[in-house]
């Protein structure tokens, strides 16, 4: 942990020497997270022991983010850096290199069951047949740092936080990174992670209850292809005009194809995303004669309100989808939704100690 000077205050008079409170005496570590969702997770696990800086803020788009010297300085002064991986932050490797940061790195997606990205195909429904056989802990998504264009996410969908079961792995990775950076507060990080995982479990149960009332035949159209993990977790079908990156622009042929899909599949509503331009969805709504049913949050938290926290964001999305698409005759269809409750076999032992000796050599930084 970097040391930062502080002084005791000597007060004149009968009060004499006043001791610092525990919070004043405790030296917080500086943690830099790549974007707002990770920053909120770090805040929940780190609690009073961390100061968290988010490089890409609320309602902002990490896909088109362009780091400045200010962000490089923030990383250089950090005790811990946390990023998503799976090429979500195509700019991260260069930023770390330019900052000369040599501290611990947390790749939040290490160890998750990754969903292969099959390319932008309106005929492909995100769903339940994703092949995780090649998943393992031996490569940990270090293909993130290959020579790709910043907006080419590679062979895996990086939006894994959209599955609350996988978010538990994020939390455990963050916990272990905090312990690496600040072993004196290991017990607090374990306790905070346990509490947060329990909150994640409770939110997941609420979301599943809400989404069972949405007919499984529903098709949901959003601004970009960011809900694959949500689809895989909760059994809903998502389509979008563009692929994984918001920077891509749909072709006229893609738009025409999607309008055909909207009509063929009797799509009932379209949804904006908070950090993308509404123009494309507005155009689709006008040409297809549909309403905009609300705003979903994919890659960034809201600046305020329920969706300004990660769990609030997930609950907001489920509530918005439920309000737009829930079947009013749910009692007749209740048994059709049993397949929504997928059994994520992520046997997380909440008290399980991950190996804290993370191997960051693949990042090219000596610690």
pLDDT digits (tens, 9 = 90+) for 137-169: 333 333 333 333 334 446 899 999 999 999 999
Q: Which tops the pLDDT comparison, 343 or 315? A: 315
pTM listed for this prediction: 0.74
Cα 215 from Cα 270, distance rounded (Å): 16
Please state which CATH class domain 22-202+347-363 belongs to: alpha beta
- The answer to whether 108 touches 174, Cβ cutoff 8 Å, is yes
What digits encode the pLDDT tens for the residues 175-224?
Answer: 999 999 999 999 999 999 999 999 999 999 999 999 999 998 888 888 77
Cα 242 from Cα 117, distance rounded (Å): 13
Cα 220 from Cα 10, distance rounded (Å): 63
What digits encode the pLDDT tens for the residues 73-131?
Answer: 999 999 999 999 999 999 999 999 999 999 999 999 999 999 998 754 444 444 433 33
Confidence at residue 260, expressed as pLDDT on a 0 to 100 scale? 86
User: Average pLDDT for residues 6-20, to the nearest whole number?
Assistant: 37
Confidence at residue 253, expressed as pLDDT on a 0 to 100 scale? 81
With a cut of 70, say whether residue 317 has pLDDT above it: yes
22-36, 229-243, 295-309: which has the highest mean pLDDT? 295-309
Cα 278 from Cα 121, distance rounded (Å): 21
Q: Same CATH fold, 206-340 and 22-202+347-363?
A: yes
For the stretch 22-51, what's the b/e string if a residue is b when 16 or more beta carbons lie within 10 angstroms of its beta carbon? Answer: eeeeeebbbbbbbbbbbbbbbbbbbbebbe
CATH of 206-340, one of 3.40.50.720, 3.50.50.60, 3.40.50.1980, 3.30.1130.10: 3.40.50.1980
pLDDT band, very low/low/confident/very high, at 13 (cuts 50, 70, 90): very low
Cα 107 from Cα 174, distance rounded (Å): 8
CA dihedral over 186, 188, 189, 191, signed as positive or negative: positive
> What does pLDDT average to over the chain?
78
What are the boundaries of each domain within the chain?
22-202+347-363, 206-340
Instruction: Strand 237-239: give its sheet, edge to edge.
Output: 237-239, 219-221, 269-273, 291-296
Per residue, the 3-state secondary structure of 165-197, as one string, reads HHHHHHHHHHHHHHHHHCHHHHHHHHHHHHHHH
What digits encode the pLDDT tens for the residues 58-74?
Answer: 999 898 899 999 999 99
What digits encode the pLDDT tens for the residues 325-352?
Answer: 997 554 444 434 444 444 444 444 444 4
Confidence at residue 266, expressed as pLDDT on a 0 to 100 scale? 76
């Amino acid at each position: 942990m970097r040391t930062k000077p502080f002084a005791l205050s000597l007060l004149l008079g009968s009060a004499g020497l006043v001791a610092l409170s525990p919070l004043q005496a405790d030296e917080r570590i500086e943690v830099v997270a790549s974007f707002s969702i990770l920053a909120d997770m770090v805040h929940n696990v780190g609690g009073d022991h961390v100061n968290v800086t988010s490089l890409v803020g609320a309602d902002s788009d990490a896909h088109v983010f362009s780091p400045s010297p200010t962000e490089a300085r923030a990383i250089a002064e950090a005790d811990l850096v946390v990023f998503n991986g799976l090429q979500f932050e195509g700019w991260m490797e260069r930023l770390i290199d330019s900052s000369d940061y040599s501290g611990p790195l947390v790749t939040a997606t290490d160890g998750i069951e990754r969903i292969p990205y099959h390319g932008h195909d309106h005929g492909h429904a995100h769903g339940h047949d994703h092949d995780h056989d090649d998943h393992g802990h031996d490569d940990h998504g270090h293909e993130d740092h290959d020579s790709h264009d910043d907006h080419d996410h590679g062979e895996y969908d990086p939006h894994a936080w959209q599955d609350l079961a996988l978010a538990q792995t994020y939390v455990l990775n963050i916990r272990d990174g905090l312990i690496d950076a600040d072993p004196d507060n290991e017990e607090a990080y374990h306790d905070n992670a346990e509490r947060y995982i329990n909150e994640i479990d409770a939110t997941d149960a609420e979301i599943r209850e809400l989404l069972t009332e949405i007919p499984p035949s529903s098709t949901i159209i959003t601004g970009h292809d960011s809900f694959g993990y949500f689809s895989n977790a909760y059994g809903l079908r998502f389509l979008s005009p563009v692929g994984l990156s918001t920077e891509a622009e749909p072709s006229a042929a893609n738009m025409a194809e999607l309008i055909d899909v909207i009509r063929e599949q009797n799509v009932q509503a379209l949804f904006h995303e908070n950090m993308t331009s509404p123009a494309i969805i507005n155009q689709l709504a006008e040409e297809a004669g549909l309403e905009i049913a609300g705003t979903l949050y994919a890659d960034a938290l809201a600046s305020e309100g329920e969706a300004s926290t990660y769990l609030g964001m997930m609950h907001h999305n489920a509530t918005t989808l439920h309000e737009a698409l829930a079947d009013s005759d749910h009692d007749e269809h209740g048994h059709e939704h049993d397949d929504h409750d997928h059994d994520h076999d992520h046997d997380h032992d909440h008290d399980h100690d991950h190996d804290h000796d993370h191997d960051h050599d693949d990042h090219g930084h000596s610690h």
